[in-house]
Chain A
């Protein structure tokens, strides 16, 4: 089984390198494909964030512990598209007319502040490290669960990390797009195989849900132990806002690479159908209640259930597709970290120098994340900081979208600092976190962020005696295909 999985991981890495016309050598071609990606390539890049190791391991675990409460993930991944539909094409068009390559470029240009862009780049890169580590840890866990081998876990993590570094540096965004296509079809097959196997083993539809109801009917409500309406509303709201306003820096290259805003809109209006796939791991988690011990660690539910119900070779195939679900986001995240550091921190370097810094940063970030993952460092708290912290940039992104930016840099920066500090304190100080109850700390932090932004903006205007001169850009009208 280990051999099948290792061969699969090598195949995934090879897909990122072969098929490309040549090695990407220029920053723009490598990072945003010269802003020429067509509809279908953009589709798989845009959809990439919907299907990750969280879809494989996390959602099944949520279904196992919280039942239908796990559907909150379907909720925010769907709801964010309603915001993205308007925001993403707008950002893409501004970026194309102003030459942005990263999220921090947007802040530098729209708020006329190099300092703000450096802060965004550093904070964004640091916040993405735990997310990168999560992907590698998830990959290792999938391999360990499938093979039962601790050695295979470490080996697969090292191998996958090395291959991701190579194919990202070699193929850039086009390489990630090629692997994304494989990953998405693979995830569909893997989730369908596991769902059919597990549900069939437990008695088939719809009888299986009647059996689950007898075992634990609280799983059919959004109020299972540990879950309530506060959790649902605040978690869905903050993630919808954060994802809707594109506050994850690694999602900017796929967005900026689209040939037009029209391409993004055409995809986003259909992308919600992807979320239908997520009902499969939730169902697997709920059904697993019938035949695996309640003490099972949530992240291990999907593969534990699969091993009960599927032949060994099929579990290996599922593990390969699970590995792809980790490698594609890992590639996009490492690219996002590298481009932020090179383009916005070492901005004084010539393009060739920045491209070199990008590659060095990708290697460094991957080594750091791999080291954290292999020593099983508990960075769960840092991951909460990633989600809640990055969402604090949403008011600033929103303020930068109109033709004229009417909010001062000081107000935007103060809001971000206040929001991030709140999230950090409630993440690392247990007493502060407990006081919040089920409220998502990123959601509360965003409220504080907006209040601080408003107060600082009022003070700035009072001291100036008038509203600041808005930063205005000449953004060409968008082309729409009819």
Chain B
């Protein structure tokens, strides 16, 4: 698949794939992705993990960990959407500049 570094797809390449310029692991994305890591690590210090607790008839720690699993999926999808948005905007800007020069 041929692709110029500019980020603009050439006619022989699928328009759905664009070369990413810039970093993926930006500080803000890493911080967002690490929120569940911190929440999982602090679990034994939370009140419901120190004393026997049931939520909805289920051990509170199990409910908490399940919520962390779901939160991980949500936050990684948020980060992923940000990366795709960055790539789209870059491709649009390059296409616009290419049009101006033409």
Residues of A within 8 A of B (CB): 67-68, 71, 74-76, 78-79, 81-83, 85-86, 89-90, 205-207, 209-210, 213, 217-223, 228-229, 232-233, 236-237, 240, 265-266, 268-270, 272-273, 275-276, 279, 282-283, 286, 476-482
Query: Are B30 and A86 within 8 A (Cβ)?
Result: yes
Tell me whether A209 and B73 are in contact in the complex, defined as CB-CB below 8 angstroms, given that A222-B43, A477-B5, A479-B3 are known contacts: no
Query: Are A279 and B62 within 8 A (Cβ)?
Result: yes
Q: How many angstroms between the C-alpha atoms of A286 and B54 in the bound complex?
A: 14
Query: Are A265 and B80 within 8 A (Cβ)?
Result: yes
Q: How many A-B residue pairs have CB under 8 A?
A: 156
Q: Which residue of B18, B41, B57, B88 contacts A205 across the interface (Cβ within 8 Å)? A: B57
Q: How many angstroms between the C-alpha atoms of A86 and B59 in the bound complex?
A: 33
Q: How many angstroms between the C-alpha atoms of A63 and B102 in the bound complex?
A: 67
Contacts of A76 in B (CB 8 A): 40
Tell me whether A213 and B52 are in contact in the complex, defined as CB-CB below 8 angstroms, given that A71-B61, A479-B1, A480-B87 are known contacts: yes
Q: How many angstroms between the C-alpha atoms of A354 and B68 in the bound complex?
A: 44
- Chain A minimum-CB-distance residue to B7: A477
Q: How many angstroms between the C-alpha atoms of A432 and B66 in the bound complex?
A: 36
Q: Which residue of A82, A232, A266, A479 contacts B19 across the interface (Cβ within 8 Å)? A: A479
- Chain A minimum-CB-distance residue to B85: A482
Within the complex, the shortest CB–CB distance from A221 to chain B, in Å, comes to 6
Which applies to chain B's interface (DSSP): helix, strand, loop or mixed?
helix
Within the complex, the shortest CB–CB distance from A475 to chain B, in Å, comes to 12
Contacts of A75 in B (CB 8 A): 40-41, 43, 65, 68
Contacts of B76 in A (CB 8 A): 81-82, 85, 268-270, 272
Query: Are A221 and B3 within 8 A (Cβ)?
Result: no
Most buried by A among B36, B41, B53, B84: B41
Contacts of B21 in A (CB 8 A): 477
Query: Are B61 and A222 within 8 A (Cβ)?
Result: yes
Query: Are A480 and B20 within 8 A (Cβ)?
Result: yes
Tell me whether A74 and B44 are in contact in the complex, defined as CB-CB below 8 angstroms, given that A210-B54, A240-B37, A479-B1 are known contacts: no
Q: How many angstroms between the C-alpha atoms of A378 and B4 in the bound complex?
A: 57
Query: Are A270 and B20 within 8 A (Cβ)?
Result: no
Q: Which residue of B19, B44, B66 contacts A223 across the interface (Cβ within 8 Å)? A: B44
